[in-house]
Amino acid sequence: MMIIMTSQIVMESKKDINIDLSKDSRHGAIQILNKRLCDEYILFTKTRNYHWNVVGPNFSERHKFFQEQYEEIDEIIDDVAERVRTLNGRSLGTLAEFIEHGSIQESPGKYPDESTMISNLLADHEQIIRSLRTDADKCEEYHDMGTNDFLIGVMEKHENMAWMLRAHLDKP
């Protein structure tokens, strides 16, 4: 199986590794992980933006809630970047790369109400969950069960965060 990737998404360290995964399989997993890294960072930034700019009668609760969410995403970002390095790849790490390779959309200059903020974040988490399901299956095709398992764990974290967001939208 031939894998075609841009060098911007898959860069490998000079020293080769021997972990019973072909170079093509590792490159495929690294490409997936770097795309997820981009989406995670954009979602982190969007959540942080909402944390800073939320207003209204529920300000204190929402401000803290958004902080909890972006702190969880920050941990995921670090874990994804380190998984790339574990596979001997280079993690993307600039804002330009995140925007170029990410699929989560930003809304510059827009400051929605708190309910819309929550709905927007929920939609982004659900988009990431769908991507992670597909990506985990692809890593199984690459025979990379470590990255498959890793992505499933990340997906479960996003499912939990999505549930929390949904709970804020539910009416009693």
Work out the number of other CB atoms within 10 angstroms of the CB of residue 165: 21
Residues 6+ apart with CB under 8 A from 36: 80, 128, 131, 132, 135, 151, 154
Q: CA–CA separation, 133 vs 48, rounded Å?
A: 25
Q: Give the model confidence (pLDDT) of 101-144 as tens digits.
A: 999 998 888 999 999 999 999 999 999 999 999 999 999 999 98
Whether the CA torsion 120, 126, 130, 132 is positive or negative: it is positive
Work out the number of other CB atoms within 10 angstroms of the CB of residue 17: 13
Ordered structural domains, the chain, with CATH: 23-103+110-169 (1.20.1260.10)
- Coil, helix or strand at residue 127: helix
Task: Tell me the CA end-to-end span of the chain in Å, nearest whole number.
Answer: 53
Residues 6+ apart with CB under 8 A from 163: none
pLDDT at 13: 55
Q: CA–CA separation, 132 vs 148, rounded Å?
A: 9
Q: Give the model confidence (pLDDT) of 64-89 as tens digits.
A: 999 999 999 999 999 999 999 999 89
Which residue shows structure tokens 């972990």? 19
Enumerate the β-bridge partners of residue 12: 89
pTM: 0.88
